[in-house]
């Protein structure tokens, strides 16, 4: 059915997403780990979030307050956390719509405290600690000044500590960097006579440590997005029995021609300021697809058809070499691709891509 539908579509197989989610929830529960469903890569689409709820996930997190507000407005009642360390300017709305936030700045936390006090709510906070990847996170030597301030808050409850690696710096999760969390927790608990129930050890890439038995047993939360949606292909884990094809992109062919593989004329830069490089393979059969960089980067897609090669894309056109494709292709046919993490993020965000759901 999906093979023949036209246009530009992302086919979303809810059963496969549910299967991946259940597999991860089961794996994590064997180690006493609570899975936080991270919804940012699917823009917290309510249909997808609903599947995660039905697969045993009870806590959710998203980087964008807009996504959280959208879910709440749709009647979503589970616990939800603001995942990106917040903007000072979103404190009032964040306290209203989110139960918890991951934080790394005192000034922002002050604002959250003020906002929580004003509406007489307790807001939960998990401190983001720097563990080597050099994105968000407070430094260990700042812990005491943070703790003094946090203990003065009447409407902020410190729930725990978190680290994040593998995003900006590409640092691999390890026993060493995840155990830093355990040391900090012990330090705070003994010095401040406080119980920190949550140790949030990382994202999808940390599942590998878990499977190898190298995650410190004190870690009891992982924040998982990629592995649920793409079975770990982009985070370097391989979710055993997981579906890599829960999201399939279909794009329609709008031109097929045999053309030379090298352009004619003096080569300047392309529409994105890059000087393209061509290899002369003689005359090749090429197809143009009605999809472009406004939707997704061509490098974020893997063709499913044997023999198809992506040559490049401008804003609204993607050019593929189909000389070596053994089945006949015609203008009007749709061809299929699997997106990587960046590709999925872009396709879910593009309003030009129709989302087709296969039932749960
Ligand atoms: C996006 C994100 C995650 C989830 O990452 P995945 O690779 O999708 O599992 C976890 N924690 C933080 C802080 C994030 O920004």
Burial (CB count <10 Å: 0-12, 13-18, 19+), residue 57:
buried
Say if residues 247 and 10 touch (Cβ distance below 8 Å). yes
Which pairing describes strands 79-82 and 59-62: parallel, antiparallel, or unpaired?
Answer: parallel
Atom of ligand 1 nearest to the CA of 136: 13
Domains of the chain: 2-8+245-358 (2.40.37.10), 14-230 (3.20.20.10)
Q: Report pLDDT for 276.
A: 81
Q: Report pLDDT for 169.
A: 81
Q: Report pLDDT for 3.
A: 45
Whole-number Å distance between alpha carbons of 319 and 308: 10
CA of 333 to the centre of ligand 1 (A): 36
Q: Report pLDDT for 237.
A: 84
In order along its 360 residues, the chain shows pLDDT tens digits of 444 445 899 999 999 999 999 999 999 999 999 999 999 999 999 999 999 999 999 999 999 999 999 999 999 999 999 999 999 999 999 999 999 999 999 999 999 999 999 999 999 999 999 998 899 999 999 999 999 999 999 999 999 999 998 888 888 999 999 999 999 999 999 999 999 999 999 999 999 999 999 999 999 999 999 999 999 987 788 888 899 999 999 999 999 999 999 998 888 888 778 888 888 999 999 999 999 999 999 999 999 999 999 999 999 999 999 999 999 999 999 999 999 999 999 999 999 999 999 998
CA of 233 to the centre of ligand 1 (A): 14
> Residue 64: phi, psi to the nearest 5?
-105, 125
Q: Which residue CA neighbors atom 5 of ligand 1 most closely?
A: 203
**Measured CA angle at 305 (ends 299, 306), to 5 deg:** 100
Is 191 noted as a catalytic residue in this protein? no
Q: Report pLDDT for 6.
A: 55
Q: Which residue CA neighbors atom 2 of ligand 1 most closely?
A: 203
Burial (CB count <10 Å: 0-12, 13-18, 19+), residue 281:
exposed
DSSP state of 300: G
Per the structure block, which two tokens stand in for 245? 């094809």
Tens of pLDDT, residues 233-268: 877 888 888 999 999 999 999 999 999 999 988 888
Whole-number Å distance between alpha carbons of 174 and 160: 20
Which residues does a 6 A CB cutoff place in the pocket of ligand 1? 38, 40-41, 63, 83, 164, 203-204, 223-227, 235
> Whole-model pTM?
0.94
Candidate of 60, 80, 178, 225 to mutate for ligand 1, largest count of ligand atoms within 8 Å of Cβ: 225
CA of 83 to the centre of ligand 1 (A): 8
Tens of pLDDT, residues 317-345: 999 999 999 999 999 999 999 999 999 99
Indicate the Cα dihedral angle 269, 272, 273, 278, nearest 10°: -40
Which pairing describes strands 283-289 and 79-82: parallel, antiparallel, or unpaired?
Answer: unpaired
Q: Report pLDDT for 1.
A: 42
Q: Exactly one of 40, 47, 66, 259 is catalytic; which is it? A: 40
Atom of ligand 1 nearest to the CA of 162: 13
14-30 and 46-54 helices cross at what angle (nearest 10)? 40
């Amino acid at each position: 059915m999906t093979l023949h539908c036209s246009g530009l579509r992302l086919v979303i197989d809810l059963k496969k997403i549910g299967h991946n989610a259940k597999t991860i929830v089961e794996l994590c529960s064997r180690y006493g780990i609570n899975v936080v469903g991270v919804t940012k890569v699917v823009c917290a689409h309510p249909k997808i979030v609903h599947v995660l709820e039905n697969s045993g996930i009870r806590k959710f997190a998203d980087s964008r307050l807009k996504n959280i507000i959208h879910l709440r407005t749709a009647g979503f009642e589970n616990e939800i956390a603001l995942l990106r360390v917040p903007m000072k300017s979103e404190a009032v709305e964040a306290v209203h719509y989110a139960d918890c936030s991951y934080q790394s700045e005192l000034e922002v936390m002050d604002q959250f405290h003020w906002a929580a006090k004003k509406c007489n709510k307790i807001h939960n906070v998990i401190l983001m600690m720097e563990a080597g990847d050099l994105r968000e996170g407070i430094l260990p030597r700042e812990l005491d000044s943070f703790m003094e301030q946090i203990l003065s808050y009447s409407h902020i409850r410190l729930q725990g500590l978190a680290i994040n690696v593998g995003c900006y710096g590409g640092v691999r999760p390890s026993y060493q960097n995840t155990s830093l969390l355990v040391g900090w927790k012990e330090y705070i608990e003994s010095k401040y006579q406080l119980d920190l129930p949550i140790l949030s050890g990382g994202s999808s890439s940390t599942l590998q440590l878990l499977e190898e038995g190298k995650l410190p047993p004190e870690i009891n939360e992982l924040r998982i997005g990629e592995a649920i949606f793409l079975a770990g292909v982009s985070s370097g884990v391989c979710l055993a029995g997981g579906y890599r094809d829960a999201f399939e992109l279909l794009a329609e062919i709008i031109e097929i021609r045999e053309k030379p593989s090298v352009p004619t004329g003096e080569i300047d830069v392309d529409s994105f300021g890059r000087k393209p490089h061509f290899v002369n393979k003689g005359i090749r059969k090429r197809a143009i697809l009605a999809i472009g960089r406004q939707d997704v980067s061509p490098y974020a897609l893997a063709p499913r058809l044997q023999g198809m090669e992506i040559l490049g894309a401008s804003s609204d056109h993607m050019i593929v070499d189909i000389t070596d494709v053994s089945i006949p292709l015609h203008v009007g046919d749709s061809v299929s691709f699997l997106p990587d993490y960046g590709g999925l993020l872009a396709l879910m965000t593009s309003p030009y891509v129709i989302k087709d759901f296969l039932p749960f």
